[in-house]
Amino acid sequence: MFRKIKGQQQVIDLLTNAISNERISQAYLFHGSDGVGKFITALYFGMALNCLSSSEYRPCGICASCHKFLSFEHPDFNYLFPTTNLKLSADGEIKDSEALEQYQAYINNKKESPWQDFYFSGSTEIRKESISLLIKRLELSIHEGEYRIVIIENADMMNTATANAFLKTLEEPPDRTVIILITERLPQLLPTILSRCQPVYFKPLSQAVIQEILYEQFAVDTLMAKSAARISGGNLRTAIRIAQDTSNTTRIKAFEMLDMAARDAALEYLNLAAKSKESADAVRDLIAYIGIILNDLAIVEYAPQEVTNLDKLDLLKDLTNDNLTDQIPEYLLKLDEYSRMLEGNVNPGLLQLNLFLGLRNLLCNKQ
């Protein structure tokens, strides 16, 4: 099953060699950008360490142990992630009914459609009570596996008290226990956490790899796979979400905005925007697609065969000019800034308005 993981061969080689040579670290830190395969690799690594198959190709994905891992039901698999306050009992029962429902929904989403974002109704973090319960569980004997596996997703969302409570266990895990921390935000982890783990870096996925995955595993046509791969910025989750938008909603909205910006139709845009409230993800995808269109505008005169939106070739040629081409690089930097702002508490609708105004100024040569 490791062969299903694309674009991270250096990581797969490291982990399979560790298994072959029986040199398994007690604590790993999987780090890299979002949507590059960190969690699925951690899960497959835990499966491989416990796979019952005699074949050299482990995990097999079909033995009883692998099935239990894939369904998140293996008794020696512990999975922690940021949640709202679960109000845990001493034995780990989630007392809050709404929190329980959301917790189970998150798990189901992770099993069935992990590329879809899931949002809890309140603020989330990895709470000290969850870590304390994990520590108690690790004091018990292993049930049936060769190794006990702990995966802590978004480990940077442990506050200082929680991280300090976990340090002793992380430094000296019980025998045959492998702890895997996952993060996109390495600088936010305490140095004491970093020093106790073997770091494993996951690089961004190339456009070619994302196109291959979309085409082979999700039956996405070549043109859409190319567009989604370019927009995604190396994030497979984003690429899948865009590619599965069968109505091309993001593309249609991007070209609608382009048209209104080129016509200086601010009032028309405001009336349209007032009728819909976009999520942060939708605005992020829109920003990315506007970037693709601008790249097309920058190259359409000298490399039309490289344009992503080939069916819009005439429109792109009508819009472009030397002055616009000179200004596009600076505006692309502004798009990057907008994307970063969405990681904070900025209003997506207000940011989308700024996106339109900037695009209008660019296309209409306004200062």
What is the gyration radius of the CA atoms in the chain, in angstroms?
Answer: 23
Mean pLDDT of all residues in 303-330: 86
Q: Are 23 and 193 in contact (CB under 8 A)?
A: no
Tracing tokens 């783990």 back to the chain, one arrives at 197
Same domain, 190 and 253: no
Q: Quote the pTM value.
A: 0.77
Same domain, 256 and 336: yes
Same domain, 259 and 197: no
Residue 145 in any domain: the answer is yes
Mean pLDDT of all residues in 17-39: 94
C-alpha span between 85 and 71 (Å, rounded): 24
What pLDDT, on the 0 to 100 scale, is given for residue 247? Answer: 63
Which residues, 6+ apart, have CB-to-CB distance to 229 below 8 Å? Answer: 207, 208, 210, 211, 214, 239
Q: In a 3-state reduction of DSSP, which class is residue 280? A: helix
What pLDDT, on the 0 to 100 scale, is given for residue 263? Answer: 93
What pLDDT, on the 0 to 100 scale, is given for residue 52? Answer: 95
Same domain, 158 and 279: no
Q: Tens digit of pLDDT for each residue in 245-285?
A: 766 788 889 999 999 999 999 999 998 888 877 888 888 88
Same domain, 153 and 7: yes
Question: Which residues form the domain of 9?
Answer: 2-82+125-202
pLDDT at 360 over 90: yes
Same domain, 66 and 177: yes
What pLDDT, on the 0 to 100 scale, is given for residue 106? Answer: 94
Q: In a 3-state reduction of DSSP, which class is residue 105? A: helix
Give the count of domains, the chain: 2
Same domain, 268 and 129: no
Residue 299 in any domain: the answer is yes
Which residues, 6+ apart, have CB-to-CB distance to 194 below 8 Å? Answer: 29, 186
Structure tokens at 79: 């999975």
Same domain, 184 and 261: no
Phi, psi angles (nearest 5°) of residue 366: -95, 150
C-alpha span between 291 and 336 (Å, rounded): 9
Residue 215 in any domain: the answer is no
What pLDDT, on the 0 to 100 scale, is given for residue 61? Answer: 93
Q: Tens digit of pLDDT for each residue in 183-234?
A: 999 999 999 999 999 999 999 999 999 999 998 888 888 878 887 887 787 8
Residue 334 in any domain: the answer is yes
